[in-house]
Amino acid sequence: MSDLETLGAAELKTRLASLKEKFDAFKHQNLSLNMARGKPCPEQLDLSMDMLGLLKTKDDLKDSNGNDIRNYGGLDGIPDAKTFFAEMLEVSPKEILIGGNSSLNIMHDTLSMAMFHGVYGSPAPWSKLPSVKFICPSPGYDRHFAICEQLNIGMVVVDMLDDGPDMDQVEKLAGSDPSIKGIWCVPKYSNPDGITYSDEVVDRLAGMETAAADFRIFWDNAYIVHHLTDRPDLLKNIMKACSAAGHPDRVFMYSSTSKVTFPGAGVAMMASSENNLNFFKKQLSVQTIGPDKFNQLRHVRFLKDRDTLKAHMRKHAAILKPKFDTVLKILESELGDKKEVSWHKPNGGYFISLNTPDGCAKEVVAMAAEAGVTLTPAGATFPYGNDPRDRNIRIAPSFPSLSELTTAIKILCLCIEIVIMKKSLS
Ligand code: PLP
């Protein structure tokens, strides 16, 4: 029995009045606190400032093959970047393409091209089919869902469990419906749950039978090196698992340095089978003569090798971990006794995913906004912005300062308490 169930209506009303008083006091402070998007804070951006001074002279502007990077060429990236990022993604340099500044951009390109031309081995362009659908484990990343919505790709929700998507649901859908052409996955420190897929989930994704022969896994490994602890989650290599299962062309893997160096000015990449990459590059070569090689070279010179990258990410963690800890501590102290409220404790990534009782998230987010706290809109973590249980709230603790974060989470907890109490009185 929760504490609310043991209280009489009169006592509930008195408690509600005192919570509302607290809320009004926050409101009168005219706060402006933003926890809507997973943006690094200024201290994190400062960690990469030295990168900007690394390319000074003509001699600095040659790649490891001796090519002058000031000129056109290198559609799929400079060799230095392929070697470095292939190691980061645990693939071979032949299985990687280095792109521009945004992995979301490459994901959008991949899907747009699939609609126009299909993917390697497609019997027809996807847009020529009566319908195309994607499996969307949810809660998930709103911008993945936006791409599908824009391209008129239907979205089928499957539940996220503690070790990844509900594979019983995924196998059933992918195995029976040929219009299902793919699945979105954020396999490590997922957005927003912070979950890392188990080996079993990876193996089942790699090995499952699919009704569409050209089914693809969109493996968005955005948080591959973004650990918060010294004992990171381990993620099985999906490319190897797919090859071993006889589906070598099943995966498109994506990542970027947006949250390693500078969001919007990082380096993005895609890894996939050589067949897939060659098919993709044919179309890419019409779209562009090549990406920004200066940025690629700068990144490799700055991040250097696996150990330097690790040390750099530890500096990010030193800034981020106290913020995550603060959020988790306040959630525990303010809401720990509410059995209908739950949250995940991630070992990395950028988010904490909070579930309120059903039917409360929209009201909580709106109320927090009244007190000057901006959260990701309720529902955004589901396709079409529709959380069927209206309960998921994504918290992005990275950008605000510790003191701002403390206030913002206290306000959020207060709003949750008020909304729960109001509902129990109605
Ligand atoms: N993928 C996920 C899961 C993200 O959370 C984000 C940003 O928040 C991105 C991709 C965006 O990546 P990029 O900056 O490389 O486009």
CATH of the domain at 408: 3.90.1150.10
Both 22 and 169 in a single domain?
A: no
Locate the ligand 1 atom nearest the alpha carbon of residue 103 and give its number.
15
Is 57 part of a structural domain of the chain? no
CA of 55 to the centre of ligand 1 (A): 27
Pocket residue to mutate for ligand 1, from 88, 97, 142, 220, most atoms within 8 A of Cβ: 220
Both 232 and 358 in a single domain?
A: no
**Domain boundary at 262, 286, 304, which?**
304
Pocket residue to mutate for ligand 1, from 143, 188, 350, 351, most atoms within 8 A of Cβ: 143
Both 293 and 317 in a single domain?
A: no
CA of 163 to the centre of ligand 1 (A): 21
Is 55 part of a structural domain of the chain? no
CA 364 remoteness from chain centre: 23
pLDDT of residue 8: 78
Q: Within 6 Å (CB) of ligand 1, which residues are found?
A: 38, 102-104, 141, 186, 191, 220, 222, 256, 258, 263, 268
Is 201 part of a structural domain of the chain? yes
Locate the ligand 1 atom nearest the alpha carbon of residue 38 and give its number.
8
Both 251 and 348 in a single domain?
A: no
Both 107 and 192 in a single domain?
A: yes
CA of 87 to the centre of ligand 1 (A): 20
Q: What is the pLDDT of residues 398-412, one digit of tens each?
A: 999 999 999 999 999
Pocket residue to mutate for ligand 1, from 258, 292, 352, 395, most atoms within 8 A of Cβ: 258
- Report residue 413 as tokens: 């907890």
Q: What is the CATH number of the domain that holds 149?
A: 3.40.640.10
Both 294 and 192 in a single domain?
A: yes
Contact, 396 vs 376, CB < 8 A?
yes
Is 296 part of a structural domain of the chain? yes
Both 186 and 219 in a single domain?
A: yes
pLDDT of residue 1: 46
Three-class DSSP category at 348 = strand
CA of 256 to the centre of ligand 1 (A): 8
Both 92 and 234 in a single domain?
A: yes
Both 268 and 295 in a single domain?
A: yes
Three-class DSSP category at 332 = helix
pLDDT of residue 12: 85
Both 39 and 152 in a single domain?
A: no
**Domain boundary at 261, 280, 304, which?**
304
Contact, 345 vs 98, CB < 8 A?
no
CA of 227 to the centre of ligand 1 (A): 16
Both 130 and 167 in a single domain?
A: yes
pTM for the structure as a whole: 0.96
In the chain, the number of structural domains is 2
Q: How buried is 11 (Cβ within 10 angstroms: 0-12 exposed, 13-18 middle, 19+ buried)?
A: exposed
Is 362 part of a structural domain of the chain? yes
Pocket residue to mutate for ligand 1, from 256, 353, 381, most atoms within 8 A of Cβ: 256
Question: What b-and-e string marks burial along 289-326, b requiring 16 or more CB atoms within 10 Å of the CB?
Answer: ebbebebbbbbbebbeeeeebeebbeebbebbeebbeb
CA of 371 to the centre of ligand 1 (A): 28
pLDDT of residue 339: 87
pLDDT < 50 positions in the chain: 1
Is 323 part of a structural domain of the chain? yes
Inter-helix orientation angle 274-287/103-117, to 10°: 90
Both 10 and 105 in a single domain?
A: no
Is 115 part of a structural domain of the chain? yes
**Domain boundary at 243, 275, 304, which?**
304
pLDDT of residue 3: 58
- Ligand 1: residue whose CA is nearest its atom 8: 38
Is 245 part of a structural domain of the chain? yes
Range of the domain at 287: 62-304
Length of the chain: 426
